[in-house]
Structure 1
């Protein structure tokens, strides 16, 4: 009986303890800044060594310096107006057929279709989507190979970014019957969004859809490439071959005798938001285990917005946060 009483009491105490939520610690936090020699100003230069002094002891402190790609005001930004630039290198080998490679862009392509309830591609529907989409031919903007590896130059896609919707970028291969058909190799492809502050974000490349793209420490993923052809237009079934991270290659008929039919094949990347950027991230200065009283810092570039510290105390169900912007700026000497 005594044992039963002890057990019931213990259980009751446990439930009572669990019913109490852990309260987050109150948060008092402030920051001041000066040169390491103690001089205080509203304007500093990149030649100054600064010291940020803290009052309070929060669990976590994160620092947004206000420099390019380190701005608190951009911590949730995922799109920004810039200049989207496509670049690649092409190599044409075998054959001399003219106009066998076209660079295309579409904003209404319905995408690669999958069979219902599966991850298997529906080739018929995909080819129908390609055929019905409106494709803009921008081949004239690129320098293409006539026999040696040739950089395309910068291809400005701003007119498509201004449409306000994602686009698809494609290489269309066409070959005529009756003569040796060209082989094309595409390498070193990048698609970037360059902002007015000179920051450059990679938003596309020759990576597979699960390939990481890292911009200023933030990871996103390549949109990937898909290849397709319609056997009605490509009876000899010459495909684009995509090697993730390396190249796109298509080889048509290598001899006149093999060139018994025309060929058409597509390699498509997308969908892509041409205004895509990565959010700015701060630098973690302090974890819960350490007391942190000051942070020395020397700017390597000017500030574009206010330096900001974010302090927080955190428990399982709640948190307390204080955001401390500093009304200073850092300029060149």
Structure 2
């Protein structure tokens, strides 16, 4: 009997453990939200009335593993948590901006050399057929961002100056809700002097929304690809060759292999990390650069073309994590600084490695008064 008793106790204890573990692993999420009232805060049903600048203290019944709070203020609305694109009528401004800075060269070698272009008709390059890609870019309907007369005319080899650098802006509102392509075409028409080094600085698309928020898309996220149609490898020095070999993936390559059939096929689509005449470098996040060359060098013809950019994109609204599985939370306070009506949303979850305990969403209307 003693043995049987011990066995029964063991079974009973194991059963309790299993039941307890099962409850722990599969407990559904439970949470109710209340409000602590005082002279500045009243609570009626699901509506809170509070004076501007006074904290609202929320209380919680239940102990979910995680709670996320959306205040309902701009940028923190639960209903916009998955929004990644603004409606056209909600966009106040959409603008392309950048600076152009020339080093070396002179007014004659700069004039007519640089074109920044925008199109909503471009279908992309093939990436393996140079002749086809040449026709594609040349036959596309592009819009020039600036007139050639607006380019800086006095290069400065050491730093940006008012005469060597100029800021450009281009309104993109007519392209809203469309995919656009941004391209830079470098094609000097005069090589009677040292060729300029072109630097395009801080290229961004800036959006401002009617809700007061905004978004900036940087050039590093444009997905630029080169199309090098005319370039000159005959005047490369040892430093240039080193950069070129690195871009080709073999820094120990013999010089004669730079002219191999295999590498010649790669050059039209090659980006470099460094300065080589006629080849684009985009490794610095805030700078697009192409080096010129010596007097009399072959006149380059090269493009830098973005991936399609959809205008009007935005970041989803974000909530604030106010509780995780290692914390307890009985109250939480938030202060609204502007009068208006907001929807405060609390999202609760239970979660562990076995079971997702479901999601509970609780909403309160917050009337903020003067």
TM-score clears 0.5: yes
- How many Å apart are 1:277 and its aligned residue? 0.8
1:54 to 50, 55, 60: 60
- How many Å apart are 1:152 and its aligned residue? 2.2
In structure 1, stretches of 5+ residues that fail to align are 1-12, 116-121, 208-221
For 1:64-213, what aligned pairs fall within 5 Å after superposition? Answer: 64-80=70-86, 81=88, 82=91, 83-93=93-103, 94-97=105-108, 98-115=111-128, 123-140=130-147, 144-147=151-154, 148-161=163-176, 164-180=177-193, 181-205=195-219, 207=220
Give the distance between the partners of 2:331 and 2:79, measured in 1 at CA. 23
Q: Which has the larger radius of gyration?
A: 2
Aligned alpha-carbon RMSD (Å): 3.3
Give the distance between the partners of 1:124 and 1:34, measured in 2 at CA. 72
Contact 1:302-1:330 at 8 Å conserved across structures: yes
What secondary structure sits across from 1:307 in the alignment? strand
Contact 2:102-2:196 at 8 Å conserved across structures: yes
Give the distance between the partners of 1:132 and 1:56, measured in 2 at CA. 65
Q: Which moved more, 1:100-109 or 1:40-49?
A: 40-49
Give the distance between the partners of 1:141 and 1:317, measured in 2 at CA. 64
Greater share of helix residues, 1 or 2?
A: 2
In structure 2, the residue matched to 1:10 is: none
2:42 to 40, 43, 55: 40
What secondary structure sits across from 1:270 in the alignment? coil
- How many Å apart are 1:235 and its aligned residue? 5.8
Structure 1 residues 77 and 327, CA, compared in 2 at 3 Å: closer, same or farther?
Answer: same
Give the distance between the partners of 1:125 and 1:21, measured in 2 at CA. 65
Contact 1:33-1:51 at 8 Å conserved across structures: yes
In structure 1, the residue matched to 2:357 is: 319
In structure 2, stretches of 5+ residues that fail to align are 1-13, 155-162, 234-276
Q: Which runs of 4+ in 1 moved over 6 A?
A: 20-23
TM-score (ref. length: structure 1): 0.74
Question: How many residues matched?
Answer: 289
- How many Å apart are 1:24 and its aligned residue? 3.2
Contact 1:68-1:303 at 8 Å conserved across structures: no
